[in-house]
Amino acid sequence: MSQTSEPLRLGIAGLGTVGAGVLKIVRQKAALLEARSGRSIRVSAVSARNRDKDRGVPLKDYAWEDDPVTLATRDDVDVFIELMGGSDGPAKAAVEAALKAGKDVVTANKALLAHHGQALAELAEANGAVLRFEAAVAGGIPVIKALTEGLAGNEITRVIGVMNGTCNYILTRMEDGGLTYDEAFAEADGLGFLEADPNLDVGGIDAGHKLSLLAAIAFGTQVNFAGVELEGIGKITIEDIRQAADMGYRIKLLGVSRMTGRGLEQSMAPCLVPAGSPLGQLTGGTNMVVIEGDQVGQIVLRGAGAGEGPTASAVMGDVMDVARGLRVSTFGQGAKGLVSATPARATTPAPYYIRTALVDKPGALAKVAAALGEAGVSIHRMRQYDHTNEAAPVLVVTHRTTRAALDEALAAMKALAVVVASPVALRIEEV
Amino acid sequence: MSQTSEPLRLGIAGLGTVGAGVLKIVRQKAALLEARSGRSIRVSAVSARNRDKDRGVPLKDYAWEDDPVTLATRDDVDVFIELMGGSDGPAKAAVEAALKAGKDVVTANKALLAHHGQALAELAEANGAVLRFEAAVAGGIPVIKALTEGLAGNEITRVIGVMNGTCNYILTRMEDGGLTYDEAFAEADGLGFLEADPNLDVGGIDAGHKLSLLAAIAFGTQVNFAGVELEGIGKITIEDIRQAADMGYRIKLLGVSRMTGRGLEQSMAPCLVPAGSPLGQLTGGTNMVVIEGDQVGQIVLRGAGAGEGPTASAVMGDVMDVARGLRVSTFGQGAKGLVSATPARATTPAPYYIRTALVDKPGALAKVAAALGEAGVSIHRMRQYDHTNEAAPVLVVTHRTTRAALDEALAAMKALAVVVASPVALRIEEV
């Protein structure tokens, strides 16, 4: 079924764990890859910052390039594999050079695509090249393929995901280990789970990049990372986690995107999900993406979101597609047809969880209830806990309400003399 | 990116709920499908047993053929969509005719492929046609695509699946509703969940068909449905379900396939899985497929296994692939390269759950323990329950053991005078 029996020749820039993992697969599984794709796959040349580092795989069989741009445009490279990272700089320059030279590109670089996805998709198309990025989203889970191809007969209604394993690890450890946020953060850091700039993880930026790519495919829109409402997990307390659990929920850094009459919603923020749902049951560093389509209903995909093997698996999935002659537009349709959607703040009505603390005086709770009622926010469940230091923790689960009504209610609560802790609200995502 | 801007013309044979669902998608989503595939998709002709039945979608725009073979070979049909069902007869004749005429074929027919997959794959290849069957396995879950394409860089180590929603519904109702097997069966029947021949469902045949297709892709082997060890759910009692739950397990009709040194294991049988695992938490009619690869680790895919929308979604995924020019060999590699694997009885050591009942006499339990020990089966946990009618139910969870040792232990137990209920053993699948 393959188009040609010529070998497919790879050039790999970036030889960290993922790059080394790809090299190992190509070396060790040559016969399997050839049986499946109908052609041999081999590496022509590689590039990295340090030539002498031991990566557990010999490099002597491959040409070496110091400059990834030179690598990307070599005559003996059919597919340029970009594993350097970074939204700009050498990664961008090399990918652009490869596409301009008509080379196919496979990348794991979510930042690059989140910032320059539209321009790169147009560049690929203009040069008859494909640009694939399965490894950029949710590690080993073949979610880009599922969304772009497998579910192509659906109008996608919502995409939800837990796509940063580090955040999920921290939240899981706060819940099951009783750690504070700072303790869980330090533990994750000690295990090497955090990016050099930890805000990429805990600030939701990395996961936000991924969400913006899924949204582009799902809704046929131009990638718009700037339109993602971002909120990190730094403000989540152990009390939030315990109280949410007490109410039957778990807190996740949740990406949610849907197209509404008001525009494209993209939100990456801590949310509550039912503890018994697949998302609620996801613990540790595992990722999960939930795709909802008008025909298929709900599809749940779960797997490792990072690591050498899973990420290299995703890179190789894209390489095998190219080897087999499977050529799909970057975001599932012609780049020029992708529309520039108006970003909409998450306006779809949802239930919310509100945490605050009240002075221990008669009538305090009634005043909070009244403030909510006046803003049109209806209370589903309300609990007051044993007070500490004269303040009694109170939490409220509302019925579905608009964000505007909620903000009004929160402002009114803050103005009450009986409210001693500025109220914190988290959306409850119904899944 | 598409190969051509000519319209893609479909011929659909079989207009049950799925066929009608496909017609609706093609009619109602014409613009979306064209934006994504780069070409228009339209239906040229249809065929079904009854022309006059109201299917909620008008047929007057399409040519009608009484004979699906004639439909399959029409000049104005590029893709033949077979939704008639049945492993032989008209479905087989029409698919063969289409392939011989060089038409691409999309089918939801697991029985056809389980019985004739190898011959049909060879026929497709000889005629330059593709044969796609995403809808044949696990309904709307794009599992064929994930396994064939997304995970193509992996050596697959195990495939596990709950792929018959009816069986999972019956087992769920026995557990959460306290129904007997017969009651739950009657309820499923009343809801129209059962095939005309219910043994296709509860005997594991339908799910076994699906497993044999996944195994062929996963392990590069010729489809061998006859090599699937089949056991239905008819012998599962409510006590099994309760006692398994008591031990932290749930019972599922579980398909498991792995390649071992002894050959290809394919088993579709009731198994215990940890209640807290994704498979254990799967309730009702939902399907789940777990794929394990040497690189990717464990990928879990979950979604609706049947129904108009989900199945039509899968059919359309295949149609969109054809429209986009994505052409992959039927089982992920050239048909002639698929090997004829020796079927191996499930010989991989596993823990087992054993249920029996003993006379209420001193030393009875010790005799059972001794029989297990003499066969080399080590006991992990053992419980004796309050006795009824002079017999005390006993259940044992063993450590990992071979099936041969287990069978020896079961035979020895049966021979004991104190054992009054023939022991029943179920494998515990570690996930």
Instruction: Specify the length of chain B in residues.
Output: 431
On whether both B150 and B297 belong to a single domain, the answer is yes
Please report the number of interchain residue pairs, chain A to chain B, with beta-carbon separation below 8 angstroms. 208
On whether both B197 and B274 belong to a single domain, the answer is yes
Q: Single out the residue in A136, A168, A194 at which a domain terminates.
A: A136
Q: What percent of chain A has pLDDT over 90?
A: 89
Residue A3 domain-assigned? no
On whether both A298 and A359 belong to a single domain, the answer is no
CA distance A182 to chain B (A): 29
Give the catalytic positions of A in this structure: 210
Residue B324 domain-assigned? no
Cβ <8 Å between B295 and A310? yes
Cβ <8 Å between A309 and B303? no
Residue B36 domain-assigned? yes
List the beta strands (DSSP E) in B224-316. Answer: 229-230, 249-260, 263-274, 286-293, 297-304
Does A16 belong to an annotated binding site? yes
Do B83 and B71 contact (CB within 8 A), yes or no? no
Do B185 and B232 contact (CB within 8 A), yes or no? no
On whether both B184 and B265 belong to a single domain, the answer is yes
Q: Which residue in B274, B222, B225, B226 sits closest to B247, CA to CA?
A: B274
Work out the mean pLDDT of chain A and round it to a whole number. Answer: 95
pLDDT band at A159 (very low <50, low <70, confident <90, very high): very high
Does A110 belong to an annotated binding site? yes
Cβ <8 Å between A152 and B36? yes
On whether both B151 and B300 belong to a single domain, the answer is yes
Residue A316 domain-assigned? no
A307 interaction partners in chain B (CB closer than 8 Å)? 297
Nearest CA in chain A to B149: A317
Cβ <8 Å between B316 and A152? yes
Q: Which among A21, A150, A154 has CB closest to B145?
A: A150
On whether both A75 and A158 belong to a single domain, the answer is no
Cβ <8 Å between A299 and B295? no
On whether both A295 and A359 belong to a single domain, the answer is no
Give the catalytic positions of B in this structure: 210
Eight-state DSSP code of residue B306: S
CATH code, domain with A66: 3.40.50.720
Amino acid at site A167: C
pLDDT for residue A234:
93
CA distance B104 to chain A (A): 12
Residue A83 domain-assigned? yes
CATH code, domain with B261: 3.30.360.10
B316 interaction partners in chain A (CB closer than 8 Å)? 152-154, 295
A137 interaction partners in chain B (CB closer than 8 Å)? none
Does A346 belong to an annotated binding site? no
The whole-angstrom separation of Cα B384 and Cα A238 is 42
Q: Which among A29, A35, A333 has CB closest to B333?
A: A35
Does A14 belong to an annotated binding site? yes
* Residue of B5 and A396 predicted with greater confidence: A396
B36 interaction partners in chain A (CB closer than 8 Å)? 152, 220, 332-333
Cβ <8 Å between B328 and A324? yes
On whether both B124 and B164 belong to a single domain, the answer is no
Q: Which among A35, A321, A329 has CB closest to B337?
A: A35
Residue B326 domain-assigned? no
Which candidate in B295, B322, B329, B338 is best for mutational testing of the A interface (most A CBs within 10 A)?
Answer: B295
B281 interaction partners in chain A (CB closer than 8 Å)? 276, 278, 281
Cβ <8 Å between A29 and B310? no
On whether both B132 and B184 belong to a single domain, the answer is no
Cβ <8 Å between A316 and B295? yes
On whether both A236 and A267 belong to a single domain, the answer is yes
Does B220 belong to an annotated binding site? no
Reported as a single tens digit per residue, the pLDDT across A59-81 is 999 999 999 999 999 999 999 99
On whether both A119 and A155 belong to a single domain, the answer is no
The whole-angstrom separation of Cα A309 and Cα A141 is 12
B25 interaction partners in chain A (CB closer than 8 Å)? 153, 295
CATH code, domain with A387: 3.30.70.260
In total, how many domains does chain A have? 3
On whether both A281 and A159 belong to a single domain, the answer is yes
The whole-angstrom separation of Cα A224 and Cα A211 is 10
CA distance A64 to chain B (A): 24
pLDDT for residue A399:
97
Say whether pLDDT at A391 is over 90.
no
Q: Which among B38, B141, B155 has CB closest to A299?
A: B141
Q: Which among B140, B149, B220 has CB closest to A296?
A: B140
> Which SS3 state, helix, strand or coil, does residue B262 take?
coil
Nearest CA in chain A to B144: A150
| Domain that residue A49 falls in | 8-136
Say whether pLDDT at A2 is over 80.
no
pLDDT for residue B2:
43
Residue B311 domain-assigned? no
Q: Single out the residue in B344, B375, B396 at which a domain terminates.
A: B344
User: How many C-alpha atoms does B255 have within 13 Å on its Cβ side?
Assistant: 32
The whole-angstrom separation of Cα A203 and Cα A126 is 36
Residues of chain B with pLDDT under 70: 1-4
Cβ <8 Å between B141 and A294? no
Residue B334 domain-assigned? no
Q: Which residue in B290, B291, B295 sits closest to B153, CA to CA?
A: B295
CA distance B411 to chain A (A): 41
Cβ <8 Å between B152 and A333? no
The whole-angstrom separation of Cα A208 and Cα A253 is 10
Which candidate in B18, B296, B315 is best for mutational testing of the A interface (most A CBs within 10 A)?
Answer: B296
Cβ <8 Å between B326 and A329? no
* Other residues' Cβ atoms within 10 Å of the Cβ of residue B8: 22
Q: Single out the residue in A80, A103, A136 at which a domain terminates.
A: A136
Q: Which among A25, A295, A312 has CB closest to B309?
A: A295
∠ CA A182-A185-A190, nearest 5°, is: 125
